[in-house]
Structure 1
Amino acid sequence: MKEFKKLITQNLDKFGMVIALVGLVLIFSFLTGGTIISPLNVTNIIMQNSYVIILAIGMVLVIITGEIDLSVGSIAAFVGAVAGVMLINMNLSLFIAVPIALIIGGLIGAWHGFWIAYMKIPAFIVTLAGMLLFRGLTMVTLGGRTLAPFPSAFRVISSRFLDDWLNGGEYHLLTIVIGIIAIISYVVLEIKKRKQNKELNVSVESKGFFIAKLIAIALVIAAFTERLAAYAGVPYIFFLLLVLILGYSFFTNRTISGRHVYAIGGNEKAAQLSGVKTQKIKFWVFVNMGVLSAIAGLIFAGRLNAATPQAGQNFELDAIAAAVIGGASLTGGAGTVIGALIGALIMGILDNGMSILGIGIDWQQSIKALVLLGAVAFDILNKNKRK
């Protein structure tokens, strides 16, 4: 218990997010009579918030460098509109239209990155201009109308589920197998990591606490797997999210470029004097944000089954809120991909829970605003305590 309290105290900002997420789930489970954790609703939370998670992953890198991007919603809408024109009006192949859409997103990110990194124009101004520009171009591209429907193949990633090759009955057996593999993989990797740390004389938690942690996380994975298996199994979008989360976590934690991103946000001048190519890193962070915005736009258009001028409204606010609630500091230098994921889930569960309870959109926005303000205040108080 003493070790547990010490761990919580030293990592209050990290554990605070997890505690908040668990607390929200428990509160809404009670208020909704368990509806929020029903198999159908758990699946819906993942699919409905997939675009926010994708944008939050890119936004956390932008915020870590000490910048901001207000254009992601407009980019997502514009890319969705362009994809609609190519796939619906022009009948282009999916293998042509999707790469073109992603390239467009990357080019938009490069446009922003050029002005921000090399011309030293504040990101707030550049991306605000981008938000207005690409919102206007979305309306021009669609002519103020909605394009629908998309080809069924385009909607696979955003709205379809993995087939049960094991032909289960009430439960999706393939999903259960995937969950078991995930638990085994997690346990093996954690044991291997602990062994390596001990060989390097790095301090590790006690054996009892380590086993308790493994059991707790294994139970969470098992419960989540059971909820998915009880409905329709694993949605295809889950695999895309998993690849992005693992890939970007590896990038930020295990690569030199990832550490350079943190160095820039911590102290850009010191990073530059240390040999970090700050302009190049910032440029590619915004290119990355443009590509992820394009992916989010394609996912949203596929789920909606339409390209509409109203798409992407407030996406940038959701992404920024998810990153900040997840522990990213607006002053730069702090934030994690996992934190952004937890922040996005907190926002998603808030939206979903309040909708189930019949709370109006006006009150939903007000409550989300207070949650965001509280997260920023919590971050500032933690920093002051450290000082």
Structure 2
Amino acid sequence: MTSTKPSSSPKVAAPDAGATATLHTGTSDPRTLILGNLRQSGIYIALVVIVALFAVLTDGVSLSPGNITNIVLQYSYILVLAIGMVIVIIGGHIDLSVGSVVALTGAVSAVLVIREGLPWWAGVLAALAVGVAVGAWHGLWVAYAGIPAFIVTLAGMLLFRGLTLRVLDNISLSPFPEEYQRVAAGFLNGLLGGQGFDAFTLFIGAFAVVGYAASVFRTRVARVRHEQPVESFPLFVLRVAVVGAVVMWFAWQLAHARGLPIVLIVLAVLVLVYGLLTRRTVFGRQVYAIGGNLPAATLSGVRVKRVNFWVFVNMGFLSAVAGVIYSSRSNGAQPAAGNMFELDAIAAAFIGGAAVTGGVGTVVGAMVGGLIMAVMSNGMQLMGVDQSVQSVVKGLVLLVAVAFDIWNKRRAAGAR
């Protein structure tokens, strides 16, 4: 059998194409489109409901400028991990080692910067290099040795936690220099002035809204040109207006607190880059193809081993980014850092719409899933809920999200 060129990718549906391939007109009934994309629509509704619920339960404290800023600072590293985790899950794998990698990369950075006195940026670069090396280690075993990712990363979880203890000599190291702390605790403010608020933060928010509106308008025009289904124009305008209002409200809250967090800029860049990577590149389409139908992807010429290898290298890199952010936020490195982070990242991906069997999921969905977990955790902390109860609630939410995924698949299969 003769295969196609390795650089080609199988013709699979775009990740956000939905289940409306049978429609042939440029417009469609809004109810049909919403039902056809129930997986994606549901998480946005769930986020709004959860935010509103905790706003009521905390008498509005959860939506205060200071608390909104704290949510961004406290959960940014989980959102970074969720970006990498959703790509791993789309490819049909899992990574249980990310919490240990977060601890190891933070420990390496702390040893170099705090103990050895190297510049702060040297610690960051060393942490990123260690993360990439860890990802390559996992990728070699999974892609080329053929060992299931569950086993490889479970071993990695133990291995790299042990290396963390060795690197730190079982003690914590702190504090980092001020420049290193600014990675996760710094703010950009005062650049454009403002009376009682930061005008620069509002400018960035407005710029993001304009960019979003232009992007979705171009997508709509392209779909109409190719006779793909889209919502009616009034509904499209309403959607853009709602998203714009939410973004500007969020920017307004940040502007009245401490300004624009530097870590939020890092996170936004990662979301944009990986959103484009998964939806617009050959590599992204190949990851979806491998997770959705491995035999078909292989016959279509996809270099499965190479793609799987780079999926885990990328996960190691993002784990290192999260490790730098976490160590900067905590102003030190601890042997127990990153404990259970892998479960939070996995939960964010599944709640955000990723399928257990692979081939389905989006970066934006993982972000929404991570925000749901963040809002719930923050809200329960504000209410003084016991940590054990918080774990119970998180576990139930994850179970419901996976059950919904299975039910949605059975419903779709029954409809066919």
Q: TM-score range by the shorter chain?
A: over 0.9
Q: Is the counterpart of residue 227 in structure 1 residue 253 in structure 2?
A: yes
Per-residue deviation, 1:165: 1.3
User: Would the alpha carbon gap of residues 50 and 243 (structure 1) be closer, same or farther in structure 2, given more than 3 Å must change?
Assistant: same
Contact 2:113 2:122 in 1 (8 A): no
Residue identity opposite 1:302 in structure 2:
S
1:349-369: CA deviation from partner (whole Å, max 9, x where unpaired): 110000001100000000100
Counterpart CA distance in 1 for 2:352 and 2:34 is: 16
1:33 is paired with a residue of what secondary structure? coil
Moved more, 189-198 or 262-271: 189-198
Counterpart CA distance in 2 for 1:337 and 1:14 is: 12
Q: Percent identity?
A: 49
Q: Is the counterpart of residue 175 in structure 1 residue 201 in structure 2?
A: yes
Residue identity opposite 1:309 in structure 2:
P
Aligned pairs, how many? 386
1:294-317: CA deviation from partner (whole Å, max 9, x where unpaired): 110110000000100010000000
Residue identity opposite 1:164 in structure 2:
G
Residue identity opposite 1:340 in structure 2:
A
Which of 50, 55, 61 aligns to 1:35? It is 61
Counterpart CA distance in 2 for 1:22 and 1:296 is: 26
Per-residue deviation, 1:43: 0.8
1:278 maps to 304
1:141 maps to 167
2:260 is paired with a residue of what secondary structure? coil
2:331 maps to 305
Counterpart CA distance in 2 for 1:34 and 1:363 is: 22
Counterpart CA distance in 2 for 1:21 and 1:62 is: 24
Residue identity opposite 1:118 in structure 2:
Y
2:384 is paired with a residue of what secondary structure? coil
Residue identity opposite 1:125 in structure 2:
I
1:49 is paired with a residue of what secondary structure? helix
1:61-104: CA deviation from partner (whole Å, max 9, x where unpaired): 11111111000000110110111000001011223222121111
Alignment of 1:231-310 (within 5 A): 231-310=257-336
1:90 maps to 116
Per-residue deviation, 1:225: 1.1
Counterpart CA distance in 1 for 2:229 and 2:110 is: 54
2:11 maps to none
Per-residue deviation, 1:197: 3.2
Q: List runs of 5+ in structure 2 lacking aligned partners.
A: 1-27
Which structure: greater helix fraction? Answer: 1
2:188 is paired with a residue of what secondary structure? coil
Q: Is the counterpart of residue 384 in structure 1 residue 384 in structure 2?
A: no
1:152 maps to 178
Per-residue deviation, 1:194: 2.6
Residue identity opposite 2:184 in structure 1:
S
Which of 195, 216, 224 aligns to 1:190? It is 216
Per-residue deviation, 1:339: 0.6
Q: What is the CA RMSD across the aligned residues, in angstroms?
A: 1.2
Per-residue deviation, 1:241: 0.5
2:102 maps to 76
1:271-292: CA deviation from partner (whole Å, max 9, x where unpaired): 1111000000000100000011
Counterpart CA distance in 2 for 1:104 and 1:10 is: 43
Counterpart CA distance in 1 for 2:218 and 2:260 is: 28
Q: List runs of 5+ in structure 1 lacking aligned partners.
A: none
2:29 maps to 3
Per-residue deviation, 1:340: 0.5
1:167-203: CA deviation from partner (whole Å, max 9, x where unpaired): 2221111111112222222223333333333334333
User: Would the alpha carbon gap of residues 18 and 165 (structure 1) be closer, same or farther in structure 2, given more than 3 Å must change?
Assistant: same
Counterpart CA distance in 2 for 1:12 and 1:20 is: 12
Contact 2:102 2:319 in 1 (8 A): yes
Counterpart CA distance in 1 for 2:214 and 2:316 is: 36
Counterpart CA distance in 1 for 2:410 and 2:147 is: 30
Normalising by the residue count of structure 1, what TM-score does the alignment of the two structures yield?
Answer: 0.97
Contact 2:65 2:257 in 1 (8 A): yes
Contact 2:33 2:231 in 1 (8 A): no
2:155 maps to 129
Contact 2:71 2:378 in 1 (8 A): yes
Counterpart CA distance in 2 for 1:89 and 1:238 is: 29
Counterpart CA distance in 2 for 1:373 and 1:186 is: 32
Per-residue deviation, 1:222: 1.4
Per-residue deviation, 1:8: 1.9
